[in-house]
Amino acid sequence: MDLITVREIRVASTRDEVVFAPGERPLGGGTWLFSEQQDGLTGLVDLTGLGWPSVTETDTALSIAATCTIAELSRLTPLVLRTGERGPSRGSQGGSPLFWQCANSLLASFKIWNVATVGGNLCVSLPAGSMTSLSAALDAEAVIWTTDGGERRVPVADFVTDVQSNVLAPGEVLRSIEIPRPSLTSRTGFRRIALSPLGRTGTLVIARLDATGEVVFTITGGTRRPVQLRFDELPNARALEQSVLAIGEWYSDAHGASDWRRAMSALLADELRIELEGIA
């Protein structure tokens, strides 16, 4: 929708131009910003003109620019793995199905993916933001441009602090997320449930079994912010259930009541435990 309070949009082409007056915010794809009236918003600084390469590989990480579109990210999953949501757990040899699974976890259709960005999804910081699910589950780091011209790093699992709330200080910009290579070679399992077959996420659980034997369950959607449960080895059913049920901050909205989300998280986590047990 037209943002009637916006008086100026600047397209930044260098970091020097990434500066914000009061009432101004960074603009990624815009698919969320332009979907609701934004009270008090007077200007936007468009980051998509900065020319950040969408995906960069380093020795230690896969770096995904904040301006990488969801469509580009989804294609990081090889064609053969782009199947239904509940695909089998797979390791790195054939690539990760998670990019595709998490893109399809968005309420937004593939048309939105052509414009929406990974960073935008993280920065909106909704519980159902599945780019948060993806990057938190893979222990990715958020690279943040600070206002003094430097940068700082935060685990994505800590980036979102509550519903539509995150660690970005005024003037800070999310530059990229960096997924450590070991996470990409881990086995993962994915489960999601919503109130309708393709509805907005009620809860989303990703399990990751590292080469070290460590197992990480990451819960998003059902909770107000990402919650990670780490185990040195695959936990038994009771231990896992207790850990999930002990989580304090279940979310309740039009996409599911909190008691159901809590129970579904435990159920899905257990399904993943059994799945990983078969592999381990």
Partner 1 sequence: MRFSINGEPVEIEPEPGRVLRTVLRDLEHFEVKKGCDAGDCGACSVLLDGEPIHSCIYPAHRLEGAEITTVAGLGTPDAPHPLQRSFVDAAGFQCGFCTAGMIVTASTFTEEDREDLPRLLKGNLCRCTGYRSIGDAIHGVSNTESAVAGEAIGKSVTAPAGMRVATGREEYTLDLKTTALLHLAVLKSPYAHARILSIDTTAALALDGVHLVLTHRDSPSTLFSTGRHEHRTDDPDDTLVLDPVLRFRGQRVAAVVAETVAIAERALSLISVDYEELPAVFDPELARSPGAPLLHPDKGDEQRVAAADRNTVAEMHGETGDVDAAIAAADAVVTGTWRTQRVSHAALETHATRGWLDAEGRLVLRTSSQVPYLVRDELCHIFGLSSDAVRVFTARVGGGFGGKQELLTEDLVTLAVLSTGRPVQYEFTREDEFTVASPRHPMRVSVTLGASRDGTLTAMAVDQLMDTGAYGNHGIGVMYHSVHESVSVYRCENKRVDAQSVYTNNLPSGAFRGYGLGQVIFAIESAMDELARELDIDPFQLRRLNAIVPGDTMVVVDPNEKSDLLIGSYGLDQCLDLAQSALERGNSVETPAGPTWSSGTGMAISMIATVAPRGHFADASVTLLADGDYDLAVGTAEFGNGTTTVHAQLVATALNTTVDRMQIRQSDTDAVRYDTGAFASAGVVVAGRALLAAAGALGELMLERAYSMTGEHGRIVDGGVQTRSGLVTASELLEAGPLTADGSHDGTPRSVAFNVHAFRVAVDSATGEVRILQSIQAADAGTVLNPEQLRGQIEGGTAQAIGTALYEEMTLDGEGRVTTTAFRNYHVPQFADIPETEVYFASTFDGLGPLGAKSMSEAPYNPVAPALANAIRDALGVRPHELPMSRDRLWRLAGDGWREPSS
Q: Which residues bind partner 1 (CB under 8 A)?
A: 1-9, 11, 27, 30-31, 34-36, 43-44, 46, 48, 104, 107-112, 114-115, 193, 195-200, 202, 253-257, 259-261, 263-264, 267
If you search the block for the tokens 């294609």, which residue do you land on? Answer: 75
Rounded to the nearest 5°, which phi and psi values hold at 266? -65, -40
- CB of residue 140 vs partner 1: minimum separation in angstroms? 26
- CB of residue 61 vs partner 1: minimum separation in angstroms? 29
Answer yes or no: are the C-beta atoms of 83 and 119 closer than 8 Å: no
Answer yes or no: are the C-beta atoms of 87 and 97 closer than 8 Å: yes
Closer of 57 and 79 to partner 1 (Cβ): 79
Q: How far apart are CA 175 and CA 145, in angstroms?
A: 6
Closer of 57 and 238 to partner 1 (Cβ): 238
- CB of residue 148 vs partner 1: minimum separation in angstroms? 28
- Output DSSP code: residue 80: G
Helix axes 237-245, 258-279, angle to 10 degrees: 150
46 membership: H or E segment, kind and range: strand 43-46
- CB of residue 33 vs partner 1: minimum separation in angstroms? 8
Q: How far apart are CA 192 and CA 201, in angstroms?
A: 7
Give me the DSSP letters along 128-195: T-HHHHHHHHTT-EEEEE-TTS-EEEEEHHHHEEETTEESPPTT-EEEEEEEEHHHHTSEEEEEEEES
Closer of 8 and 233 to partner 1 (Cβ): 8
- CB of residue 150 vs partner 1: minimum separation in angstroms? 29
Closer of 210 and 253 to partner 1 (Cβ): 253
Closer of 45 and 156 to partner 1 (Cβ): 45
- CB of residue 44 vs partner 1: minimum separation in angstroms? 8
Q: How far apart are CA 250 and CA 227, in angstroms?
A: 10
Q: How do strand 201-209 and strand 215-220 relate by DSSP bridges?
A: antiparallel
Closer of 104 and 218 to partner 1 (Cβ): 104
Closer of 208 and 262 to partner 1 (Cβ): 262
- CB of residue 199 vs partner 1: minimum separation in angstroms? 6
- Output DSSP code: residue 235: P
